[in-house]
Structure 1
Amino acid sequence: MSALGAHTTLLRLGGCRQFFQRAAARSPRKTCLSTAGGGIAGFIAQRKCAPSLLKSDALFGAPGGRLLKHSGFGLEGLPGMASKRLQPSDSRDKSLRPNASTSLTSMSPSQPGGEWQRPHTKKREGDRAHAGKGGLKEGVKERGEKRSKGAERTWEFEEEFEEELVADAPFMDAVVKVYCTHTEPNYSLPWQKKRQYSSTGSGFMCAGRRVLTNAHCVEHHTQVKVKRRGDDTKFVATVLAIGTECDIALLTVEDEAFWRDVEPLNFGSLPRLQDGVTVVGYPIGGDTISVTSGVVSRIEVTSYVHGSTELLGVQIDAAINSGNSGGPAFNSRGECVGIAFQSLKSEDAENIGYVIPTPVINHFLTDFERNGQYTGFPALGIAWQRMESPALRQSLGLRNDQKGVLIRRLEPTSFAYNVLKEGDVILSFDGIPIANDGTVPFRSGERISFGYLVSQKYTSETATLRVSRQGEEVDVDVRLRIPKRLVPVHIFGKNPSYFIIAGLVFTPVCQPYLESEYGSDYDYDTPVKLLDRMLHGMARSDDEQVVVLSQVLAHDENIGYEDLSNRVVIRLNGVEIRNIKQLAELVESCQDPFLKFDLEYNEMLVLENAAARRATAQVLQDHCIPSARSADLVSTPVTEVEENTENGKPA
């Protein structure tokens, strides 16, 4: 990951709206002036403003920063980075948990007012040229020249005119507001759910009677509704697919009225540097649609904080705020060139936003069409190292004209594990040469990480790699698959698994669980060995999990173990634990007089077998737990605690 500035924080624009305390409020006019040089405002500024106003304040980042990854609606930092300085607030319909490190003031959302209604004004011929072949710039130019004749016009007039012009564009009607009610799992008490809350985001209509938005806007959804601009009706939406890695979700609406008299957006190509972009959505500060403009600052493989992945991303200098998530970014021709999804918040930077570009969007949509569901972005299944050191290249027998990257590790569950070897040097990917820094040619004068080439493939497709192995060049065909993480970033809408015996609560580790246990700073507070498994662990099989003793619910049978928590379970009665389902089966089938759990750091926990089984029912009753195991660990889910009518106590 690239360093992006001291005390820098990368925030995912949660579907919820967030209110931030500012040192000084900037007027909309100053905001427009600051983006001169890109988009609609930039075009007018270059034609009508003094040269002193044509300076763009686009920020391109500074060295030494910190990127954050996101799970749910909290923020967590990537280990090894500087301490984070900002913490978001949101407009969930519940009280926010206090956080001592928060440097922003959490505020309640403003009450919604009436919806904006389009003014019924008569337009002159040529007023809507932006919607035709001429595009946005031509429309602005023609009308701007007409209205400026015969009298000296001010920038304020042009700014008002620009807003009117964009508001009347036909493609604006395809932008919708997304309302979602979320019910998250409680990972620390996995038999429960957290209290539900609500959030809002943005989205837009695309071909096939579908709506695109961000995955984090509808994560753990129980109800999703969408509302068109200028309409007072909220339509119930169905979630068709959620792409966690790419932070895209696909919705549809059954009601015919929702699609009436609206044209879906068309997708444009990947923009160029300094191309103007206009971001549309429903961010904080009001209940009606918002338009901001800027220019493309950078195009590279970017960290996607929601999915903890790295995919192609577009950095822009348009203001992207909470609530903009899922909204479209338009080029000068009115084509959608991306989806707003995250922004950079820093003491030294302003107006740095990120857009999911059309290559990633098209991959998501094509994947869904091919498979009837979202399958994901495949990976090679390797860990690689740059080879910029001449000594390193010479030691591996590379010629001066050979460049590439070194394979350090291979994931045992990947197809590459059987055809590649540690120490191989990858020279090219599908015939495209890879440089010593891991980049490949992208466009004229641009280079990009070769991971982009991998991400453009689909699951089960094959890539041809040319590798240098012990000084000889070999062509190898590698089948691609979805990577298997030892500690998953998400559990994709499933409820967490758990198993209870005599008050001992066992559960598999995932990143949301660590966040639940250790808070937003879990990447610092998590025990070192657990953290190492999360960052560097590789699963040896598709069903391997890291199982921990999460907590001990006090009972007479577990005296002496009450303080144990988050200990990795290594073995049960000498059998190595592979996953939680295996652990539950071993306990249930055990005929030995004792249950001996070997934990990490050579700790041992022993229970008397028969007494432990009797104690389990009492623990379940005391804590109102419906079952000793989660539904995925039994063939028929248990919904209530069975009573032993003979003793009057739970069986």
Structure 2
Amino acid sequence: MRRQTQSTSSGFAISGRRILTNAHSIEHHTVVRVKKRAGDRKYIARVLTYGNECDLALLTVEDNSFWERIQPLQFGKLPDLQTSVIVVGYPIGGENISVTAGVVSRVEIQEYTHGDSQLLGIQIDAAINSGSSGGPALNHSNHVVGIAFQSMNSGDAENIGYLVAESVVDHFLKDYETNSKYTGFCHCGFTWQKMENKALRKCMNMSPDDSGVLVRRVMKTSPANKVLKPEDIVTSIDGVSVSNAGTVPYRSGERISFHYIITTKFTGDVVKVDILRNGKHLHVEYELRDSSENLLVPVRERRRQPEYFTIAGLVFVALSEPYLVAEYGDKWDLKAPVRLLERLLYGSKEHVDEQIVLLSQVLNAEINIEYECVINTRVLKFNGTKLRNLAHLATMVDECTTDFLRFDLDDEIVVVERKEAIEASAEILETHCIPSASSIGELSAVVTAGEEDGDGATQEVKGDDKGVDVVGDEAHVVKDEDKGADVGGEATQVVKGEGKKGGGNGNGVDKKEGEGNGNAKLKEGGGGGNGNGADKKEEKGDGKDAKRSVSMWDEHEEEEQGERGEKENGE
């Protein structure tokens, strides 16, 4: 059984008896405690909702005494370049509040490391260190213009920090207030390429007055798939002309990626798009969806406990980024098999419930002799039927009446006798100290408003969600954790928190170490679930690093959009 750990972050009070902090600050929590500045009492906080894409979390405290003498901070407008700001928080977990001054040096679409997303961000020339995450950035009027969430870690750059822009925070809060939960940020539903080359524009029948971006691929699970086609030219979005570089006017004398327009909308909103198809101008409209719905390989687990299924010692899991971290460590993007990285980078869903199912490993037993060396190989079919997801595989196995269970993998076929498999499974599970043959289904990762258990002070894990670490690797934190969110504000509004993280039960399946030959470099979202002071890093690339093809760039274009240096969460 793993021991509990704890960590601290910063945060601040806003209207409605609520507290804002970072999502990576409360990830995998069991109990969240907060403490006001200059106070010695710690209060239990309840997580109302959180958004991984924007790295924001919303908390509340039920105890009325906590809110005495608390004056919520107000939000200001997006700051101009060269505007002075101060970042308030508790870097390195100190006991006293820290105030750091900086200047706004850039406002543009930034990579959010925790959620593998691209949203509006503010770059400042002040370092954001561990513990500062969630702290407010204030203007000269003491209004919040951003929230500290990550910094750049590079030998070529010093004192560069990043803030969640106020407009992103406003979107997050309005989303929760409207839907009583976080529904996410939208994606345009297609990948694209710049049209700056003269020959390319001429080939696509563009006149000298036309400008726009080339649609390379349309996500099949997106409503855009009904109205857009590859090689369409998107010339405008919601009436705003798109340049050949994929930018639109933004503030005075600035331009920004057209993706910004999409991120200001909410799930279910309709976007109006003008396109050029075969030399003809057309107007189309379609509904926007959550950006994460298109990801074939998810960035974050939606359950507190990852899914798995076992039969005859064969252990099946769904591929996800946290699973790769568990298997191959912090440098998983260099060690994981190229086949898995290729699906993460360029894969998109054919169906909304599609998953990549892996034969993760084989637990040695007489029934599976000669299969024990199979590790992290994709399962394509079961008894001739193509898999949709892990639950589909488990259902087919349970309902199977044939003599044999046949699993078609990428490179080989695994077959076991059905009756022998059923008889051997219980003994194999007992031998390897695995409490259950499967864990499949919805397990809520956060209790939303109106769904809290008991008095709402703490969130209890029900059912089989006991923090079992199926893959048994510390890098893949699937245990219950408790992270304190320090609440910052003006004078008496600043609070500090800490908490303990519950350890997993330690009886998960021990994974075999597999050699990877991947050569792609991927960013790694920062999470607050470590509790060991280690910051998660995002490697931004040097012109050769690849990113997910479901980002706002096409996979080929993405390789040219790298930005030198590394970013890391400031938690």
The TM-score with structure 2 as length reference comes to: 0.76
Alpha-carbon RMSD: 1.6
In the TM superposition, 1:50-89 aligns within 5 A as none
In the TM superposition, 1:146-545 aligns within 5 A as 195-284=3-92, 286-483=94-291, 484=293, 485-545=295-355
Separation in 2 of the partners of 1:235 and 1:639?
Answer: 25
Aligned residue type for 1:596: R
CA displacement, residues 339-390 of structure 1 (integer Å, 9 cap, x when unaligned): 0000001112111000001100000000000001000001121011111111
CA displacement, residues 226-262 of structure 1 (integer Å, 9 cap, x when unaligned): 1110000111000000110000000000111111112
Moved over 4 A (4+): 636-640
SS of the residue corresponding to residue 422 of structure 1 reads coil
Aligned residue type for 2:414: L
1:550 matched residue in structure 2: 360
CA displacement, residues 514-573 of structure 1 (integer Å, 9 cap, x when unaligned): 110011111111111111110110101111000000111111111111111101001111
1:609 matched residue in structure 2: 418
Separation in 1 of the partners of 2:303 and 2:464?
Answer: 20
1:618 matched residue in structure 2: 427
What is the CA-CA distance between 1:194 and the residue it aligns to? 5.8
**Equivalent of residue 632 in structure 1, options 416, 421, 441:** 441
1:599 matched residue in structure 2: 409
Q: Is the CA contact (8 Å cut-off) linking 1:561 and 1:605 kept in structure 2?
A: yes
Aligned residue type for 1:516: A
Q: Is the CA contact (8 Å cut-off) linking 2:404 and 2:415 kept in structure 1?
A: yes
Any gaps of 5 or more consecutive residues in structure 1?
1-192, 641-651
In the TM superposition, 1:16-31 aligns within 5 A as none
Q: 1:330 to 1:637 in 2, by over 3 A?
A: closer
Higher helix proportion: 1
Separation in 1 of the partners of 2:185 and 2:465?
Answer: 37
2:545 matched residue in structure 1: none
Aligned residue type for 1:468: L
Separation in 1 of the partners of 2:442 and 2:314?
Answer: 16
Aligned residue type for 1:517: E
Deviates more, 1:585-594 or 1:452-461: 585-594
SS of the residue corresponding to residue 516 of structure 1 reads helix
Q: 1:496 to 1:593 in 2, by over 3 A?
A: same
**Equivalent of residue 567 in structure 1, options 377, 393, 417:** 377
Aligned residue type for 2:33: K
Separation in 2 of the partners of 1:326 and 1:385?
Answer: 35
What is the CA-CA distance between 1:623 and the residue it aligns to? 1.9
Q: Is the CA contact (8 Å cut-off) linking 1:631 and 1:638 kept in structure 2?
A: no
Aligned residue type for 1:585: T
What is the CA-CA distance between 1:420 and the residue it aligns to? 0.8
Aligned residue type for 1:459: T
Taking only the aligned residue pairs, the percentage that are identical comes to 51
Separation in 2 of the partners of 1:544 and 1:348?
Answer: 41
How many aligned residue pairs are there?
446
Separation in 1 of the partners of 2:464 and 2:43?
Answer: 35
CA displacement, residues 120-156 of structure 1 (integer Å, 9 cap, x when unaligned): xxxxxxxxxxxxxxxxxxxxxxxxxxxxxxxxxxxxx
Q: 1:381 to 1:305 in 2, by over 3 A?
A: same
Q: Is the CA contact (8 Å cut-off) linking 1:293 and 1:319 kept in structure 2?
A: no
What is the CA-CA distance between 1:492 and the residue it aligns to? 3.0
Separation in 2 of the partners of 1:633 and 1:244?
Answer: 18
Larger radius of gyration: 1
SS of the residue corresponding to residue 588 of structure 1 reads helix
Deviates more, 1:588-597 or 1:299-308: 588-597
Q: Which has the higher contact order (CA 8 A, sep 6+)?
A: 2
Aligned residue type for 2:179: N
What is the CA-CA distance between 1:595 and the residue it aligns to? 1.0
1:40 matched residue in structure 2: none
Separation in 2 of the partners of 1:459 and 1:364?
Answer: 12
2:479 matched residue in structure 1: none
SS of the residue corresponding to residue 284 of structure 1 reads helix
Q: 1:384 to 1:517 in 2, by over 3 A?
A: same
CA displacement, residues 289-340 of structure 1 (integer Å, 9 cap, x when unaligned): 0000010000000000000000000000122111000000000111110100
Separation in 2 of the partners of 1:196 and 1:231?
Answer: 25
The TM-score with structure 1 as length reference comes to: 0.67
CA displacement, residues 429-448 of structure 1 (integer Å, 9 cap, x when unaligned): 10001111111000111000
Any gaps of 5 or more consecutive residues in structure 2?
444-461, 467-571
